[in-house]
Structure 1
Protein backbone atom coordinates (compact mmCIF):
# COMPACT_ATOMS: atom_id res chain seq x y z
CA UNK A 1 0.00 0.00 0.00
CA UNK A 2 1.18 3.52 -0.78
CA UNK A 3 0.28 6.86 0.67
CA UNK A 4 -1.95 9.13 -1.40
CA UNK A 5 -0.09 11.73 -3.45
CA UNK A 6 -1.89 14.47 -1.52
CA UNK A 7 -3.08 14.33 2.06
CA UNK A 8 -5.30 16.93 3.65
CA UNK A 9 -3.51 18.76 6.44
CA UNK A 10 -5.73 20.90 8.60
CA UNK A 11 -4.06 23.29 11.02
CA UNK A 12 -5.26 23.92 14.54
CA UNK A 13 -4.74 22.84 18.08
CA UNK A 14 -6.66 20.86 20.65
CA UNK A 15 -5.64 22.18 24.06
CA UNK A 16 -7.10 19.21 25.89
CA UNK A 17 -4.50 16.93 24.34
CA UNK A 18 -1.53 19.26 24.68
CA UNK A 19 0.07 16.75 27.03
CA UNK A 20 0.18 14.33 24.12
CA UNK A 21 1.93 16.99 22.00
CA UNK A 22 -0.83 16.70 19.44
CA UNK A 23 -2.20 19.26 17.04
CA UNK A 24 -5.68 18.69 15.74
CA UNK A 25 -8.38 20.27 13.67
CA UNK A 26 -12.10 19.98 13.20
CA UNK A 27 -14.19 20.39 10.14
CA UNK A 28 -17.91 19.71 9.87
CA UNK A 29 -17.95 17.06 7.15
CA UNK A 30 -14.64 16.46 5.40
CA UNK A 31 -14.05 12.90 4.26
CA UNK A 32 -16.48 11.58 6.87
CA UNK A 33 -19.61 12.56 4.96
CA UNK A 34 -22.64 14.50 6.14
CA UNK A 35 -23.25 14.53 9.85
CA UNK A 36 -19.64 13.65 10.69
CA UNK A 37 -16.84 15.72 12.21
CA UNK A 38 -13.30 14.78 11.23
CA UNK A 39 -10.28 15.61 13.35
CA UNK A 40 -6.66 15.11 12.37
CA UNK A 41 -3.35 15.66 14.07
CA UNK A 42 -0.11 14.04 15.16
CA UNK A 43 1.21 12.62 18.41
CA UNK A 44 4.59 11.69 19.78
CA UNK A 45 5.23 8.47 21.70
CA UNK A 46 8.19 7.04 23.56
CA UNK A 47 7.13 3.67 22.15
CA UNK A 48 7.84 4.86 18.57
CA UNK A 49 10.40 7.58 19.25
CA UNK A 50 11.67 10.24 16.89
CA UNK A 51 8.62 10.56 14.69
CA UNK A 52 5.32 12.36 14.45
CA UNK A 53 2.47 9.87 14.23
CA UNK A 54 -0.54 11.11 12.23
CA UNK A 55 -3.98 10.22 13.51
CA UNK A 56 -7.54 10.76 12.34
CA UNK A 57 -10.94 10.56 14.02
CA UNK A 58 -14.41 10.62 12.48
CA UNK A 59 -17.12 11.39 15.03
CA UNK A 60 -20.90 11.55 14.54
CA UNK A 61 -21.94 15.17 14.97
CA UNK A 62 -24.59 14.18 17.51
CA UNK A 63 -22.49 11.41 19.03
CA UNK A 64 -23.39 9.69 22.26
CA UNK A 65 -19.95 10.15 23.76
CA UNK A 66 -20.59 7.43 26.30
CA UNK A 67 -20.57 4.93 23.43
CA UNK A 68 -17.18 3.24 22.97
CA UNK A 69 -15.20 4.33 19.91
CA UNK A 70 -13.82 1.96 17.28
CA UNK A 71 -10.01 1.97 17.16
CA UNK A 72 -8.87 1.12 13.62
CA UNK A 73 -5.46 -0.45 12.97
CA UNK A 74 -3.98 -0.28 9.47
CA UNK A 75 -2.21 -2.94 7.46
CA UNK A 76 1.48 -3.22 6.60
CA UNK A 77 2.64 -0.30 4.51
CA UNK A 78 -0.54 1.54 5.38
CA UNK A 79 -1.42 4.52 7.53
CA UNK A 80 -4.20 5.96 9.64
CA UNK A 81 -5.82 8.06 6.91
CA UNK A 82 -6.72 4.88 5.01
CA UNK A 83 -9.47 4.20 7.56
CA UNK A 84 -11.31 6.97 5.71
CA UNK A 85 -9.67 7.11 2.28
CA UNK A 86 -9.35 3.38 1.56
CA UNK A 87 -11.95 1.69 3.75
CA UNK A 88 -14.25 4.74 3.75
CA UNK A 89 -15.40 3.95 7.25
CA UNK A 90 -16.37 7.60 7.63
CA UNK A 91 -19.27 6.94 5.26
CA UNK A 92 -20.85 4.74 7.94
CA UNK A 93 -20.13 6.80 11.04
CA UNK A 94 -23.34 8.85 11.03
CA UNK A 95 -25.58 5.86 10.28
CA UNK A 96 -24.07 3.64 12.98
CA UNK A 97 -23.45 6.36 15.55
CA UNK A 98 -19.94 5.01 16.07
CA UNK A 99 -16.81 7.16 16.20
CA UNK A 100 -13.75 5.70 14.49
CA UNK A 101 -10.17 6.61 15.40
CA UNK A 102 -6.95 5.53 13.68
CA UNK A 103 -3.26 6.25 14.18
CA UNK A 104 -0.10 5.48 12.20
CA UNK A 105 1.73 2.56 13.80
CA UNK A 106 4.52 1.74 11.35
CA UNK A 107 5.18 -1.81 10.19
CA UNK A 108 6.01 -3.51 13.50
CA UNK A 109 2.85 -5.64 13.60
CA UNK A 110 1.44 -3.79 16.60
CA UNK A 111 3.62 -5.49 19.26
CA UNK A 112 6.89 -4.95 21.10
CA UNK A 113 9.98 -5.56 18.97
CA UNK A 114 13.60 -6.26 19.92
CA UNK A 115 14.58 -2.69 19.02
CA UNK A 116 12.30 -1.46 21.81
CA UNK A 117 9.54 -0.07 19.59
CA UNK A 118 6.00 -1.10 20.43
CA UNK A 119 3.09 0.19 18.35
CA UNK A 120 0.60 -1.69 20.50
CA UNK A 121 1.69 0.12 23.67
CA UNK A 122 1.60 3.38 21.73
CA UNK A 123 -2.08 2.74 21.05
CA UNK A 124 -2.84 1.87 24.67
CA UNK A 125 -0.62 4.40 26.45
CA UNK A 126 -0.78 7.39 24.11
CA UNK A 127 -3.53 7.15 21.51
CA UNK A 128 -6.38 6.02 23.74
CA UNK A 129 -5.80 8.90 26.20
CA UNK A 130 -5.78 11.30 23.25
CA UNK A 131 -9.07 9.85 21.99
CA UNK A 132 -10.52 10.13 25.50
CA UNK A 133 -9.73 13.84 25.60
CA UNK A 134 -10.97 14.56 22.09
CA UNK A 135 -14.01 12.28 22.13
CA UNK A 136 -14.88 10.98 25.58
CA UNK A 137 -15.30 7.27 26.24
CA UNK A 138 -12.27 4.97 26.07
CA UNK A 139 -12.74 2.89 29.20
CA UNK A 140 -14.22 0.45 26.74
CA UNK A 141 -13.34 0.29 23.04
CA UNK A 142 -13.85 -1.81 19.94
CA UNK A 143 -11.02 -2.76 17.58
CA UNK A 144 -11.19 -3.12 13.81
CA UNK A 145 -8.17 -3.77 11.63
CA UNK A 146 -7.21 -5.07 8.24
CA UNK A 147 -4.31 -7.37 7.31
CA UNK A 148 -1.48 -6.59 9.78
CA UNK A 149 -4.00 -4.46 11.65
CA UNK A 150 -6.44 -7.36 11.80
CA UNK A 151 -3.82 -9.38 13.62
CA UNK A 152 -3.00 -6.36 15.79
CA UNK A 153 -6.65 -5.85 16.69
CA UNK A 154 -7.01 -9.46 17.80
CA UNK A 155 -3.72 -9.26 19.73
CA UNK A 156 -4.63 -6.07 21.61
CA UNK A 157 -8.11 -7.41 22.35
CA UNK A 158 -6.53 -10.54 23.83
CA UNK A 159 -4.39 -8.33 26.08
CA UNK A 160 -7.12 -5.98 27.28
CA UNK A 161 -9.86 -8.61 27.59
CA UNK A 162 -13.64 -8.24 27.88
CA UNK A 163 -13.39 -5.71 30.70
CA UNK A 164 -12.11 -3.15 28.15
CA UNK A 165 -13.01 -4.53 24.71
CA UNK A 166 -16.62 -4.67 23.54
CA UNK A 167 -15.90 -6.28 20.14
CA UNK A 168 -13.07 -6.96 17.71
CA UNK A 169 -13.07 -7.32 13.91
CA UNK A 170 -10.23 -8.77 11.85
CA UNK A 171 -10.57 -8.10 8.11
CA UNK A 172 -8.22 -10.38 6.15
CA UNK A 173 -6.27 -10.73 9.39
CA UNK A 174 -2.58 -11.56 8.90
CA UNK A 175 -2.48 -14.81 10.88
CA UNK A 176 -0.02 -17.69 10.85
CA UNK A 177 -0.27 -21.05 12.56
CA UNK A 178 3.47 -21.50 13.10
CA UNK A 179 6.60 -19.33 13.31
CA UNK A 180 8.04 -20.74 10.10
CA UNK A 181 5.01 -19.65 8.11
CA UNK A 182 5.08 -15.99 9.15
CA UNK A 183 6.05 -13.22 6.76
CA UNK A 184 9.54 -11.69 6.93
CA UNK A 185 9.54 -8.82 9.39
CA UNK A 186 6.33 -9.79 11.15
CA UNK A 187 8.28 -11.14 14.15
CA UNK A 188 11.89 -10.86 15.27
CA UNK A 189 12.33 -14.59 15.83
CA UNK A 190 10.58 -17.72 17.03
CA UNK A 191 10.41 -16.46 20.62
CA UNK A 192 8.81 -13.22 19.47
CA UNK A 193 6.20 -15.15 17.49
CA UNK A 194 5.35 -17.36 20.46
CA UNK A 195 5.12 -14.40 22.83
CA UNK A 196 2.52 -12.78 20.55
CA UNK A 197 0.76 -15.84 19.15
CA UNK A 198 -3.00 -15.27 19.11
CA UNK A 199 -3.45 -19.05 18.78
CA UNK A 200 -2.00 -19.48 22.30
CA UNK A 201 -4.40 -21.06 24.78
CA UNK A 202 -4.40 -18.15 27.23
CA UNK A 203 -5.18 -15.63 24.51
CA UNK A 204 -7.92 -17.86 23.08
CA UNK A 205 -9.49 -18.18 26.53
CA UNK A 206 -9.66 -14.39 26.76
CA UNK A 207 -10.97 -13.91 23.22
CA UNK A 208 -13.69 -16.51 23.82
CA UNK A 209 -15.19 -14.07 26.34
CA UNK A 210 -15.75 -11.25 23.85
CA UNK A 211 -17.35 -10.87 20.41
CA UNK A 212 -14.91 -11.62 17.56
CA UNK A 213 -15.65 -11.29 13.85
CA UNK A 214 -13.40 -12.45 11.01
CA UNK A 215 -13.91 -11.62 7.32
CA UNK A 216 -11.56 -13.01 4.69
CA UNK A 217 -11.75 -13.48 0.93
CA UNK A 218 -11.58 -16.97 -0.54
CA UNK A 219 -8.61 -15.95 -2.68
CA UNK A 220 -6.78 -14.30 0.21
CA UNK A 221 -3.50 -16.00 1.20
CA UNK A 222 -4.63 -15.72 4.84
CA UNK A 223 -7.91 -17.57 4.29
CA UNK A 224 -6.52 -20.88 5.56
CA UNK A 225 -5.13 -19.40 8.77
CA UNK A 226 -8.37 -17.48 9.38
CA UNK A 227 -10.30 -20.74 9.06
CA UNK A 228 -7.84 -22.40 11.43
CA UNK A 229 -8.29 -19.60 13.93
CA UNK A 230 -12.06 -19.93 13.80
CA UNK A 231 -11.73 -23.68 14.48
CA UNK A 232 -9.80 -23.05 17.71
CA UNK A 233 -12.06 -20.10 18.59
CA UNK A 234 -15.51 -21.45 17.67
CA UNK A 235 -17.25 -18.44 19.24
CA UNK A 236 -15.82 -16.23 16.47
CA UNK A 237 -18.10 -15.23 13.60
CA UNK A 238 -16.20 -16.20 10.44
CA UNK A 239 -17.13 -15.22 6.89
CA UNK A 240 -15.06 -16.47 3.95
CA UNK A 241 -16.57 -15.06 0.79
CA UNK A 242 -15.49 -13.98 -2.71
CA UNK A 243 -12.51 -11.65 -2.79
CA UNK A 244 -8.82 -11.28 -2.20
CA UNK A 245 -6.38 -9.34 -0.06
CA UNK A 246 -7.37 -5.92 -1.36
CA UNK A 247 -8.71 -2.52 -0.51
CA UNK A 248 -11.85 -3.34 -2.46
CA UNK A 249 -12.58 -6.28 -0.16
CA UNK A 250 -11.95 -4.30 3.03
CA UNK A 251 -14.02 -1.35 1.79
CA UNK A 252 -16.96 -3.56 0.82
CA UNK A 253 -17.05 -5.09 4.30
CA UNK A 254 -16.38 -1.99 6.41
CA UNK A 255 -19.99 -0.84 6.71
CA UNK A 256 -21.26 -4.27 7.75
CA UNK A 257 -18.43 -4.57 10.26
CA UNK A 258 -19.33 -1.28 11.94
CA UNK A 259 -23.00 -2.30 12.04
CA UNK A 260 -21.98 -5.58 13.63
CA UNK A 261 -20.04 -3.74 16.32
CA UNK A 262 -23.00 -1.43 16.91
CA UNK A 263 -25.32 -4.43 17.26
CA UNK A 264 -22.97 -5.97 19.84
CA UNK A 265 -23.06 -2.71 21.78
CA UNK A 266 -26.82 -2.46 21.56
CA UNK A 267 -27.16 -6.07 22.70
CA UNK A 268 -24.90 -5.49 25.67
CA UNK A 269 -26.83 -2.35 26.64
CA UNK A 270 -30.12 -4.24 26.67
CA UNK A 271 -28.93 -6.99 29.01
Structure 2
Protein backbone atom coordinates (compact mmCIF):
# COMPACT_ATOMS: atom_id res chain seq x y z
CA UNK A 1 0.00 0.00 0.00
CA UNK A 2 1.18 3.58 -0.58
CA UNK A 3 2.74 5.51 2.27
CA UNK A 4 0.92 8.46 3.82
CA UNK A 5 3.21 10.87 1.93
CA UNK A 6 2.49 9.14 -1.38
CA UNK A 7 -1.24 9.21 -0.70
CA UNK A 8 -1.10 12.93 0.02
CA UNK A 9 0.82 13.53 -3.19
CA UNK A 10 -1.90 11.62 -5.05
CA UNK A 11 -4.60 13.75 -3.49
CA UNK A 12 -2.91 16.85 -4.92
CA UNK A 13 -3.61 15.74 -8.49
CA UNK A 14 -5.66 18.29 -10.44
CA UNK A 15 -9.35 17.37 -10.72
CA UNK A 16 -11.65 17.92 -13.68
CA UNK A 17 -15.35 17.41 -14.32
CA UNK A 18 -15.52 13.77 -15.46
CA UNK A 19 -18.84 14.10 -17.26
CA UNK A 20 -17.22 16.62 -19.62
CA UNK A 21 -13.68 15.48 -20.21
CA UNK A 22 -12.94 12.14 -18.68
CA UNK A 23 -10.96 11.69 -15.48
CA UNK A 24 -7.28 12.04 -14.67
CA UNK A 25 -5.10 11.22 -11.71
CA UNK A 26 -1.61 10.26 -10.67
CA UNK A 27 -0.23 6.74 -10.29
CA UNK A 28 0.66 5.64 -6.74
CA UNK A 29 2.41 2.57 -5.38
CA UNK A 30 0.25 -0.53 -5.21
CA UNK A 31 0.64 -4.28 -4.64
CA UNK A 32 2.24 -6.27 -7.45
CA UNK A 33 -0.15 -6.73 -10.35
CA UNK A 34 -2.33 -3.79 -9.33
CA UNK A 35 -2.54 -0.31 -10.84
CA UNK A 36 -3.58 2.44 -8.45
CA UNK A 37 -4.59 5.96 -9.48
CA UNK A 38 -5.15 8.78 -7.00
CA UNK A 39 -6.71 12.08 -7.99
CA UNK A 40 -9.62 14.41 -7.44
CA UNK A 41 -12.71 15.48 -9.30
CA UNK A 42 -15.02 18.45 -9.23
CA UNK A 43 -18.79 18.16 -9.24
CA UNK A 44 -21.59 20.68 -9.23
CA UNK A 45 -23.12 18.68 -6.39
CA UNK A 46 -20.43 19.40 -3.77
CA UNK A 47 -18.13 22.34 -3.00
CA UNK A 48 -14.44 22.11 -3.87
CA UNK A 49 -12.91 18.89 -5.12
CA UNK A 50 -13.34 15.27 -3.97
CA UNK A 51 -10.29 13.04 -3.66
CA UNK A 52 -10.47 9.48 -4.93
CA UNK A 53 -8.39 6.31 -5.14
CA UNK A 54 -8.89 3.65 -7.80
CA UNK A 55 -7.24 0.21 -7.82
CA UNK A 56 -7.58 -2.07 -10.84
CA UNK A 57 -5.80 -5.14 -12.22
CA UNK A 58 -2.62 -4.08 -13.97
CA UNK A 59 -2.90 -6.37 -17.00
CA UNK A 60 -6.26 -8.12 -17.19
CA UNK A 61 -9.62 -6.45 -17.69
CA UNK A 62 -11.44 -6.14 -14.35
CA UNK A 63 -14.35 -8.48 -13.72
CA UNK A 64 -16.44 -5.88 -11.92
CA UNK A 65 -16.48 -2.40 -10.40
CA UNK A 66 -16.87 -1.80 -6.66
CA UNK A 67 -17.83 1.69 -5.49
CA UNK A 68 -16.41 2.12 -1.98
CA UNK A 69 -18.00 4.63 0.41
CA UNK A 70 -16.16 5.67 3.56
CA UNK A 71 -17.39 6.32 7.07
CA UNK A 72 -17.61 9.55 9.06
CA UNK A 73 -14.23 11.24 9.47
CA UNK A 74 -12.60 9.23 6.70
CA UNK A 75 -12.17 9.76 2.94
CA UNK A 76 -11.74 7.72 -0.23
CA UNK A 77 -7.94 7.22 -0.26
CA UNK A 78 -7.92 6.61 3.49
CA UNK A 79 -10.57 3.91 3.10
CA UNK A 80 -8.48 2.19 0.44
CA UNK A 81 -5.62 1.98 2.94
CA UNK A 82 -7.63 1.32 6.11
CA UNK A 83 -9.39 -1.72 4.65
CA UNK A 84 -6.43 -2.84 2.51
CA UNK A 85 -8.73 -2.98 -0.50
CA UNK A 86 -5.97 -2.91 -3.14
CA UNK A 87 -4.49 -6.08 -1.62
CA UNK A 88 -7.46 -8.06 -2.96
CA UNK A 89 -7.63 -6.66 -6.49
CA UNK A 90 -5.28 -9.09 -8.24
CA UNK A 91 -6.85 -12.15 -6.58
CA UNK A 92 -10.47 -11.18 -7.20
CA UNK A 93 -10.01 -9.36 -10.52
CA UNK A 94 -12.20 -6.52 -9.26
CA UNK A 95 -11.65 -2.81 -9.78
CA UNK A 96 -12.27 -0.76 -6.64
CA UNK A 97 -13.02 2.97 -6.69
CA UNK A 98 -13.20 4.91 -3.41
CA UNK A 99 -14.40 8.53 -3.37
CA UNK A 100 -14.44 11.20 -0.66
CA UNK A 101 -17.89 12.55 0.21
CA UNK A 102 -17.37 14.55 3.38
CA UNK A 103 -19.38 13.88 6.53
CA UNK A 104 -22.83 14.42 5.01
CA UNK A 105 -24.11 10.83 5.02
CA UNK A 106 -24.18 10.50 1.24
CA UNK A 107 -27.46 12.33 0.62
CA UNK A 108 -28.74 15.80 -0.25
CA UNK A 109 -28.23 18.33 2.53
CA UNK A 110 -29.06 21.95 3.24
CA UNK A 111 -26.68 24.90 2.91
CA UNK A 112 -23.19 24.57 4.34
CA UNK A 113 -20.41 27.06 4.91
CA UNK A 114 -16.79 26.35 3.97
CA UNK A 115 -14.60 29.23 5.05
CA UNK A 116 -15.94 32.40 3.46
CA UNK A 117 -18.06 30.52 0.94
CA UNK A 118 -21.74 29.72 1.47
CA UNK A 119 -23.07 26.81 -0.59
CA UNK A 120 -26.86 26.69 -1.00
CA UNK A 121 -26.96 22.90 -0.91
CA UNK A 122 -24.86 19.83 -1.51
CA UNK A 123 -25.48 16.23 -2.45
CA UNK A 124 -22.53 13.82 -2.21
CA UNK A 125 -24.79 10.95 -3.27
CA UNK A 126 -25.60 12.67 -6.56
CA UNK A 127 -21.88 13.35 -7.00
CA UNK A 128 -21.25 9.60 -6.80
CA UNK A 129 -24.07 8.64 -9.18
CA UNK A 130 -23.73 11.45 -11.74
CA UNK A 131 -19.98 12.05 -11.76
CA UNK A 132 -17.85 9.48 -9.98
CA UNK A 133 -19.31 6.26 -11.33
CA UNK A 134 -18.95 7.43 -14.98
CA UNK A 135 -15.40 8.61 -14.19
CA UNK A 136 -14.51 5.30 -12.53
CA UNK A 137 -15.83 3.40 -15.55
CA UNK A 138 -13.52 5.40 -17.81
CA UNK A 139 -10.51 4.84 -15.55
CA UNK A 140 -11.08 1.08 -15.29
CA UNK A 141 -12.56 0.28 -18.69
CA UNK A 142 -15.78 -1.06 -17.16
CA UNK A 143 -18.61 -0.68 -19.72
CA UNK A 144 -21.87 1.03 -18.80
CA UNK A 145 -23.70 -2.22 -19.45
CA UNK A 146 -21.99 -3.84 -16.42
CA UNK A 147 -23.75 -3.22 -13.08
CA UNK A 148 -21.69 -1.83 -10.22
CA UNK A 149 -21.51 -3.01 -6.62
CA UNK A 150 -21.31 -0.99 -3.43
CA UNK A 151 -19.16 -1.58 -0.36
CA UNK A 152 -19.19 0.81 2.60
CA UNK A 153 -18.46 0.97 6.30
CA UNK A 154 -20.39 2.85 8.99
CA UNK A 155 -21.75 6.04 7.34
CA UNK A 156 -20.67 4.49 4.03
CA UNK A 157 -22.61 1.33 4.81
CA UNK A 158 -25.74 3.44 5.13
CA UNK A 159 -24.76 5.33 1.96
CA UNK A 160 -24.29 2.07 0.05
CA UNK A 161 -27.84 1.03 0.86
CA UNK A 162 -29.25 4.44 -0.01
CA UNK A 163 -27.47 4.85 -3.35
CA UNK A 164 -28.13 1.24 -4.36
CA UNK A 165 -31.83 1.78 -3.69
CA UNK A 166 -31.75 4.81 -5.98
CA UNK A 167 -30.01 2.98 -8.84
CA UNK A 168 -32.09 -0.19 -8.50
CA UNK A 169 -31.43 -3.88 -9.26
CA UNK A 170 -30.79 -3.42 -12.97
CA UNK A 171 -27.74 -1.25 -12.28
CA UNK A 172 -26.49 -2.76 -8.99
CA UNK A 173 -24.97 -6.23 -8.79
CA UNK A 174 -24.57 -6.39 -5.02
CA UNK A 175 -24.22 -4.42 -1.78
CA UNK A 176 -21.99 -4.99 1.23
CA UNK A 177 -22.76 -2.61 4.11
CA UNK A 178 -20.34 -3.15 7.02
CA UNK A 179 -21.24 -1.87 10.49
CA UNK A 180 -23.83 0.27 8.74
CA UNK A 181 -24.84 3.46 10.56
CA UNK A 182 -28.54 2.69 10.89
CA UNK A 183 -31.21 3.99 13.24
CA UNK A 184 -34.78 2.79 13.68
CA UNK A 185 -36.08 6.19 14.80
CA UNK A 186 -35.21 9.81 13.89
CA UNK A 187 -34.59 10.68 17.52
CA UNK A 188 -31.86 8.05 17.77
CA UNK A 189 -29.73 9.30 14.86
CA UNK A 190 -26.32 10.89 15.36
CA UNK A 191 -26.10 14.68 15.49
CA UNK A 192 -25.50 16.04 11.99
CA UNK A 193 -26.45 12.86 10.16
CA UNK A 194 -29.70 14.45 8.94
CA UNK A 195 -30.96 18.01 8.69
CA UNK A 196 -34.13 17.23 10.65
CA UNK A 197 -36.85 14.61 11.14
CA UNK A 198 -38.18 15.13 7.62
CA UNK A 199 -34.71 14.61 6.16
CA UNK A 200 -34.35 11.36 8.11
CA UNK A 201 -37.69 10.06 6.90
CA UNK A 202 -36.97 11.01 3.28
CA UNK A 203 -33.73 9.00 3.34
CA UNK A 204 -34.69 6.16 5.68
CA UNK A 205 -33.38 2.92 4.15
CA UNK A 206 -35.85 0.91 6.27
CA UNK A 207 -38.55 2.24 3.94
CA UNK A 208 -36.62 1.11 0.86
CA UNK A 209 -36.55 -2.62 1.57
CA UNK A 210 -38.82 -3.48 -1.38
CA UNK A 211 -36.24 -2.40 -3.95
CA UNK A 212 -33.31 -3.55 -1.80
CA UNK A 213 -34.86 -7.03 -1.54
CA UNK A 214 -34.17 -7.42 -5.26
CA UNK A 215 -30.43 -6.74 -4.92
CA UNK A 216 -28.03 -9.35 -3.47
CA UNK A 217 -26.74 -8.15 -0.11
CA UNK A 218 -24.27 -9.16 2.58
CA UNK A 219 -24.54 -7.52 6.01
CA UNK A 220 -21.56 -7.62 8.38
CA UNK A 221 -21.59 -6.11 11.87
CA UNK A 222 -19.73 -6.83 15.09
CA UNK A 223 -21.78 -8.00 18.05
CA UNK A 224 -20.08 -5.35 20.22
CA UNK A 225 -20.90 -2.59 17.72
CA UNK A 226 -23.35 0.09 18.86
CA UNK A 227 -25.20 -0.38 15.54
CA UNK A 228 -25.74 -4.14 15.96
CA UNK A 229 -29.39 -3.89 17.08
CA UNK A 230 -30.36 -1.67 14.14
CA UNK A 231 -28.47 -3.93 11.72
CA UNK A 232 -30.32 -6.97 13.05
CA UNK A 233 -33.63 -5.14 12.71
CA UNK A 234 -32.72 -4.26 9.13
CA UNK A 235 -31.74 -7.87 8.36
CA UNK A 236 -35.15 -9.01 9.65
CA UNK A 237 -36.74 -6.96 6.87
CA UNK A 238 -34.45 -8.50 4.23
CA UNK A 239 -34.42 -12.29 4.70
CA UNK A 240 -32.58 -12.72 1.40
CA UNK A 241 -29.48 -10.97 2.80
CA UNK A 242 -26.42 -12.96 3.81
CA UNK A 243 -25.79 -11.93 7.41
CA UNK A 244 -22.56 -12.19 9.35
CA UNK A 245 -22.91 -10.85 12.87
CA UNK A 246 -19.73 -11.93 14.62
CA UNK A 247 -17.35 -10.82 17.35
CA UNK A 248 -15.98 -7.31 16.97
CA UNK A 249 -16.69 -3.62 17.38
CA UNK A 250 -16.93 -0.45 15.32
CA UNK A 251 -13.24 -0.48 14.45
CA UNK A 252 -10.81 -0.37 11.55
CA UNK A 253 -9.52 -3.80 12.58
CA UNK A 254 -12.99 -5.28 12.11
CA UNK A 255 -13.50 -3.67 8.71
CA UNK A 256 -10.02 -4.66 7.49
CA UNK A 257 -10.46 -8.26 8.63
CA UNK A 258 -13.70 -8.66 6.67
CA UNK A 259 -12.82 -6.86 3.43
CA UNK A 260 -11.25 -9.85 1.68
CA UNK A 261 -14.20 -12.16 2.25
CA UNK A 262 -16.64 -9.43 1.28
CA UNK A 263 -14.88 -8.84 -2.04
CA UNK A 264 -14.80 -12.59 -2.69
CA UNK A 265 -18.56 -12.68 -2.09
CA UNK A 266 -19.09 -9.83 -4.56
CA UNK A 267 -16.88 -11.62 -7.09
CA UNK A 268 -19.05 -14.75 -6.78
CA UNK A 269 -22.11 -12.78 -7.89
CA UNK A 270 -20.62 -12.24 -11.34
CA UNK A 271 -19.81 -15.90 -11.88
CA UNK A 272 -22.19 -17.97 -14.03
- TM-score, normalising length from structure 2? 0.89
CA drift of 1:21 comes to 7.9
Aligned residue-pair number: 257
CA shift digits 1:157-206 (9 cap, x unpaired): 11111100000000100001110111001111111011100000xx1111
Match of 1:159 in 2: 166
CA drift of 1:135 comes to 1.3
CA drift of 1:119 comes to 0.5
Match of 1:127 in 2: 132
Q: Give the secondary-structure state (helix, strand or coil) at the position aligned to 2:27.
A: strand
CA drift of 1:136 comes to 2.0
1:9-24 pair list within 5 angstroms: 9-10=9-10, 17=18, 19=20, 22-24=23-25
8 Å CA contact retained: 1:120, 1:156 = yes
Instruction: Show structure 1 runs of 5+ residues with no match.
Output: none
Q: Give the secondary-structure state (helix, strand or coil) at the position aligned to 1:43.
A: strand
8 Å CA contact retained: 1:230, 1:238 = yes
CA drift of 1:132 comes to 1.8
Match of 1:47 in 2: 45
Q: C-alpha root-mean-square deviation of aligned residues, in Å?
A: 2.1
1:1-271 pair list within 5 angstroms: 7-10=7-10, 17=18, 19=20, 22-27=23-28, 30=29, 32-49=30-47, 51-65=48-62, 67-115=63-111, 116-137=121-142, 139=144, 140-200=147-207, 203-266=208-271, 270=272
CA shift digits 1:99-137 (9 cap, x unpaired): 100111000000001222110000011101111221122
CA drift of 1:13 comes to 7.5
8 Å CA contact retained: 1:13, 1:22 = no
Instruction: Show structure 2 runs of 5+ residues with no match.
Output: 112-120
Q: Give the secondary-structure state (helix, strand or coil) at the position aligned to 2:255.
A: helix
